[in-house]
Structure 1
């Protein structure tokens, strides 16, 4: 098995197939048309299930560190697939309101994701470390594969909007197939790959007198900052389709937009390829703040007539947001792995990161629902959320500078 799939092949396949690459593009209208739920129902379900999943994030991370990371990864991913299959057949099994059944399935699904979260990153990084290569090689490979995935996601997103018009459930079916491929790939990861490496690291650290499992504020600040960037990227993405629909822009234009914003990931990485190893947290925060301020250009939409010109402005502005997505999804694993490379509780730390990220994302979904109800305007909801996130980054930057964390 080791000879068939080394760490590069496993990482490559995992990175080029984004999670929920098809359904995410049409997520809001999938909930609306297929599950008969409103945007308020959608935001409430996302907020509640993420909030409740926090109860198991850190405990499941501890279990993975204590027992078997590969086993937890397989159980979590396998159970998530079962949840998605249940969601697929739900309208045929239950008549009437699906709010509570969908809420139950989504809560269970996020708990299974919590069981799996962090394990792949730790296992693949340990496989890489056995080759005794510079850590920047891992980051460059991870980012490079992520950019290829962005191209695949670009095409997938475009076709998802087209397929949705013919068969509503096809996007979800394709995502389930991708998850099955990833699950099968997990079996090729060595179960005990980490054992000898961890023992060697422990002996080295004991000689140096290093306390590997002691949390510090700098690490917590890093986790919080990356979690906020993830929250920005994932939270605002849910508003892309409602914003365009509210501006009377056809759905197939939205498919083209998704293709453009995913291609933006590839282009950005090509531009930044040689500079990626030089990135520091402070640079990520500064660039993210500039991108959020740039979203204010969307105010001009109310003064522009014609779908094409509106689409042109939206495509430019939304594409710029993919810079934050590159940081939060393409580089976060490297930043965290580098910060905890001498620790024994790696999966627990990743679980702590996902706990913070889900808590913030849950809060943002609740907030989006409140703002949307108050404004009754998706464009203004998006702009208000961008402004709030920009203010949060300002606070992070000031605090981080003062404590020398960035």
Structure 2
């Protein structure tokens, strides 16, 4: 089904970014999987090519592009090759907007340029060992002093946890109000800030996911984003775009799985004919194509809404919930159509099966997504 949201500029950009992916990412994916982390050099190369934080204004070193569709293109192209370690969407669409929206001019001048060149990799610290989707239950806290804040606590499941240089960390700032939080910019090398070993995971092996620890970390007041009591509101404002980012990956990844499977079943033969000729194969492929087309329709409307600054929390949750469930169904069915070969590591569908299962959990579990939708329905 043709997609009308992209114009010639977007497609030209897609061609350029696809070339970058084929040259700088695809040849190294197997090694990064083995290493458990991607090469930091990739971030610098992305910066050189103008792929990092393109929405930042030119005076900070960005391109001043306010059209989210260029970020969408990059996310889709990474999904096309199932690249899970290079979290460009997290850097561009999830974390950088906190700086862009709530950072003051001094913070932007000091930090954004490094994020744009790739010298500084971004991460965000919300989830804790005892508080996942329930942000109000977090225990990390910050105590205000004369010219700084003292940050104590820990975060877990942090993407870019090892490579990150600037982490937006959420912490409670008023013990009497569970929703009074601040967002603090923790920088690599700050005294009292440490990282655990990369976490061993079922999938996404090249993503350096880690636990972060804060032991009386002295945060200068120049590293507080906006009002130190409004961090919860800031996160609620930005979460819809984070969930849009996951929707982009989910639908594009489902298409990748379908394309892989189409190629496989046309080549694989059983009982004297291509297995693509069996009714079961044809019906399953038709069902999955229809679901993916429906996903793109929902996704493209969300993209239009985010460009119009009208994407609601409930719509974003609906998109995240449905597309991630659809992705897992599609990848599971595609693996089944691969037969025994789908269980072999040498086939990409096997890796995708392990990688995509997290999509129903991170950035808020799908059960939380349904809770938000129900609340918006006044239930």
Q: Normalising to structure 1: TM-score of the pair? A: 0.30
More helix by share: 1
